[in-house]
């Protein structure tokens, strides 16, 4: 793995950690605010998990490509109507990432 891709992955992990800390702080603030009723708890339970970013999907695909799945990744990109990851609609990032994660299962 190159130093640049290591750095990019480290930066993305830091961003994810910061987002998780921020979410936890918001939850705690809602729990202990003066307006303490059942709604903050209900909101916390119904929160969606954050959508994947282009960088997160790119990291997954890069890992799979290095593991020898380059041709399969090209096929997956075509499945989602693109020749490159940047051409994939962001609403498909989650499904594309799950499909890529399953590539090792077929080995």
pLDDT digits (tens, 9 = 90+) for 21-75: 988 888 888 888 865 555 555 555 566 677 889 899 999 999 999 999 999 999 9
Cβ within 8 Å of residue 57, ≥6 positions away? 85, 88, 93, 96, 97, 100
pLDDT reported for residue 45: 58
Residues 87 and 103 in one domain: yes
Whether residue 28 is found in the same domain as residue 76: no
Residues 94 and 63 in one domain: yes
Number of H helices, E strands in the chain: 5, 0
Distance CA 64, CA 85 (A): 14
Examine the domain organization and report whether 90 and 67 are in the same domain.
Answer: yes
**55 and 105 together in one domain:** yes
Which residue, 50, 66, 90, sits at the end of a domain?
50
Residue 71 and residue 101 in one domain: yes
Looking at the structure, tell me whether residues 43 and 85 fall in a common domain: no
Q: Is 48 left (phi over 0), alpha (psi -120 to 50) or beta?
A: beta
Domains identified in the chain, total number: 2
Q: Give yes or no: residues 62 and 76 share one domain.
A: yes
**Is residue 36 domain-shared with residue 69, that is, in the same domain?**
no
The answer, as to whether pTM is greater than 0.75, is: no
93 and 106 share a domain?
A: yes
Which domain does 103 fall in, by range? Answer: 51-107
pLDDT at residue 96 tops 70:
yes
């Amino acid at each position: 793995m190159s130093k640049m891709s290591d750095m990019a992955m480290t930066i993305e992990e830091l961003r994810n950690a910061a987002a998780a800390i921020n979410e936890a702080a918001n939850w705690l603030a809602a729990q202990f605010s003066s307006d303490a009723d059942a709604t903050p708890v209900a909101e916390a339970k119904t929160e969606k998990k954050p959508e994947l970013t282009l960088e997160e999907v790119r990291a997954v695909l890069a890992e799979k490509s290095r593991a020898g799945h380059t041709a399969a990744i090209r096929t997956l990109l075509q499945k989602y109507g693109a020749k490159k990851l940047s051409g994939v609609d962001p609403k498909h990032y989650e499904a594309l990432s799950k499909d890529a994660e399953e590539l090792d299962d077929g080995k």
